[in-house]
C-alpha cells in the first residue's frame, strides 16, 4: 500500500520540487491530501448522492443491492486537518458494497479552521438523525485513523446523552491515544511511511491544531482509549502491523475486554496505516475489507 505515501513525492516532481526543498506548506499539503482517494479503485455498482443530514453535509454511497433498512456511518480520517467525503468515498463504498448496506459519510469541519468539539458535535448530529430513520440495531459505525477515534467518541457521547447505541463498530487504524504513549510510536517509526522517517507527519502538530486551550490530550472524548468503554457496541478493530499507531488498536481491544465489551483485533502484518485505502488494487486491502464486511453482516442481522 505504498501508493498513498508516494503522493508527496509525486507532487514535488510535478511542481519542479525535489526532496531537498523545504517541507510542503500547509496549502500544498492539503492539495496532496485531496488526492488520497486516487489510490482506491472504483467499486462499481454504487450510486453517490450529496445531501444534508442533521444539519451537516453528507455523501450517501448506496450499492445497487444494499439492504434498504441497514446503514453504515463512515467517518473519514486525515488527522482532523485533511481527508474528506471525496477522498474516502471509494474506500467506504467498497466496505458498504461488501456488507450489503448503504453508507453515509459526514463532511465534518477540519482544523485549524474549527477546533474540537466541533467535529464530534457534527458527527453526533448525523448519528442522531440516522436514529430517526433506522433502528439502532440496524446502524453500524466505522472510521479510519482520526475517524476511527471518532467512531468510539460518537458512541461515548451518545451514551452520555441517553441515545441508543449502534449495533457494531469497525475502527480502522484508529487514533485512540493523543498522548502518544504507545510503544509502537517508537518501535514502528522505522517502518511507518506516513508518520515515521524520512517524511514524518507531526502527530504533536495535529493534536495542537485540534485541541483548544483547556482540553487535554488524555480527555476520554478525544482519546477514547482512556474512556470507560462499558456498554459500548461490539468492535472489529483493524490495523497494519507496520504502523506507528498499531498499539492504539492493540490497547483498544484490551481496554474493551477489560470493560466487558466484545472486541476482535485484526492486524495485517507488514501493512501501513489505513492500508484499506488501496481497495480494489491490493489483495491485502480487499481481504481486510471482506473480513470486516462479513463480521458486520452478522452484527447487522444480514
Catalytic residues: 145, 243, 273
Calculate the CA 295 to chain-centre distance: 17
Integer Cα distance of 89 and 84 in angstroms: 8
Calculate the CA 215 to chain-centre distance: 22
Integer Cα distance of 265 and 236 in angstroms: 6
Up-side HSE of residue 80: CA atoms within 13 Å toward CB? 29
**51 phi/psi in degrees, rounded to 5:** -140, -165
Q: Which residues contact 255 (CB under 8 A, 6 or more apart)?
A: 225, 229
Q: Is 68 helix (H, G, I), strand (E, B) or coil?
A: coil
**DSSP structure class, residue 137:** G
CB 249 within 8 A of CB 237: yes
Integer Cα distance of 167 and 186 in angstroms: 35
**108 phi/psi in degrees, rounded to 5:** -80, 160
Integer Cα distance of 135 and 186 in angstroms: 43
Q: Is 106 helix (H, G, I), strand (E, B) or coil?
A: strand
213: cell is: 486551550
Amino acid at each position: 500500500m505504498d501508493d498513498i505515501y508516494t503522493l508527496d513525492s509525486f507532487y514535488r516532481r510535478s511542481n519542479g520540487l525535489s526532496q531537498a526543498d523545504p517541507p510542503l506548506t500547509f496549502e500544498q499539503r492539503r492539495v496532496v491530501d485531496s488526492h488520497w482517494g486516487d489510490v482506491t479503485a472504483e467499486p462499481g455498482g454504487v450510486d453517490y448522492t450529496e445531501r444534508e443530514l442533521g444539519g451537516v453535509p453528507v455523501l450517501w454511497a448506496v450499492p445497487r443491492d444494499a439492504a434498504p433498512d441497514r446503514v453504515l456511518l463512515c467517518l473519514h480520517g486525515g488527522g482532523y486537518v485533511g481527508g474528506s467525503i471525496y477522498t474516502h468515498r471509494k474506500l467506504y463504498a467498497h466496505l458498504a458494497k461488501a456488507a450489503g448496506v448503504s453508507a453515509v459519510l459526514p463532511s465534518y469541519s477540519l482544523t485549524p479552521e474549527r477546533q474540537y468539539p466541533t467535529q464530534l458535535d457534527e458527527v453526533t448530529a448525523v448519528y442522531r438523525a440516522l436514529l430517526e430513520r433506522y433502528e439502532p440495531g440496524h446502524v453500524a459505525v466505522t472510521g479510519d485513523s482520526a475517524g476511527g477515534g471518532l467512531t468510539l467518541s460518537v458512541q461515548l457521547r451518545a451514551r452520555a446523552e441517553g441515545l441508543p447505541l449502534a449495533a457494531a463498530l469497525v475502527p480502522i487504524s484508529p487514533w485512540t491515544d493523543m498522548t502518544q504513549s504507545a510503544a509502537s510510536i517508537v518501535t514502528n517509526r522505522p517502518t511507518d511511511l506516513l508518520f515515521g522517517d524520512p517524511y514524518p507527519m507531526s502527530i504533536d502538530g495535529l493534536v495542537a491544531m485540534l485541541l483548544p486551550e483547556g482540553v487535554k490530550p488524555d480527555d476520554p472524548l478525544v482519546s477514547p482509549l482512556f474512556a470507560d468503554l462499558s456498554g459500548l457496541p461490539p468492535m472489529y478493530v483493524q490495523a497494519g502491523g507496520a504502523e506507528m499507531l498499531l498499539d492504539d488498536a492493540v490497547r483498544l481491544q484490551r481496554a474493551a475486554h477489560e470493560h466487558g465489551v466484545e472486541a476482535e483485533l485484526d492486524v495485517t502484518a507488514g501493512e501501513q496505516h489505513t492500508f484499506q485505502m488501496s481497495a480494489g488494487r491490493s489483495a491485502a486491502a480487499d481481504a481486510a475489507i471482506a473480513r470486516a464486511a462479513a463480521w458486520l453482516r452478522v452484527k447487522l442481522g444480514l
